A and B are shown apart, each in its own frame.
Chain A
Amino acid sequence: QKEVEQNSGPLSVPEGAIASLNCTYSDRGSQSFFWYRQYSGKSPELIMFIYSNGDKEDGRFTAQLNKASQYVSLLIRDSQPSDSATYLCAVPGFQKLVFGTGTRLLVSP
């Protein structure tokens, strides 16, 4: 089993809708979780991190963590075409950050 799993997508949503991106992880001891956004042809950039069970909100972005289910998600409210990108979930491993394959999000005008 991979350490971090994501659906590769693409996930297509209309402008203004809520986009929901999901990630599962295998290590029950993981304490922190990171979401990176990667535009086509660009490098990843950190957009959110969460350490505690529950929700963490930052503008239009909400990260949700459920440690019992080993599940972390990212919600993007009022999706914009500029949100079209690949979203990478990452979990700390030993001495490194382990990334999922990413979910490609397409927001149509």
Chain B
Amino acid sequence: DTGVSQDPRHKITKRGQNVTFRCDPISEHNRLYWYRQTLGQGPEFLTYFQNEAQLEKSRLLSDRFSAERPKGSFSTLEIQRTEQGDSAMYLCASSKSDRAGELFFGEGSRLTVL
């Protein structure tokens, strides 16, 4: 297993369009997280899955954002009707349940909304 993989690495879209990001976690990890990071800031929590169940979602996440993790494997993060303020790096991370603070991050998906 080569680690957490994310796709696409870069996405440029026009305001109002929908975008979807995919994350494939490390296979033996049952926890999966989505974070967002903008320049000069630390990663900001978006949502978290334990297996296929979405257990936590940030209050900062508007209803334009939705995430899924069917069958507890890969996850998708969809942003509908994108806005310029959505421009950021979207980071996926995974961990084992008993090592919840030890996150393994993917390379990220950079979103630019024009």
Contacts and interface: CB of A to CB of B under 8 A. Distances in A.
B40 A97 contact: no
Interface residues of A, number: 24
B42 A97 contact: no
Contacts, number: 53
Contacts of B67: none
A1 interface: no
B91 interface: yes
A25 B33 CA distance: 22
Interface stretch (A43-51, A57-65, A74-82): A43-51
Q: Is the interface of A mostly helix, strand, loop or mixed?
A: strand
A46 B102 contact: yes
Contacts of B74: none
Nearest to B102: A46
Given A43-B108, A92-B101, A102-B41, 5 more contacts: A44-B91, A98-B45, A99-B43, A101-B41, A101-B42
Interface of B: 33, 35, 40-45, 48, 55-56, 91, 100-108
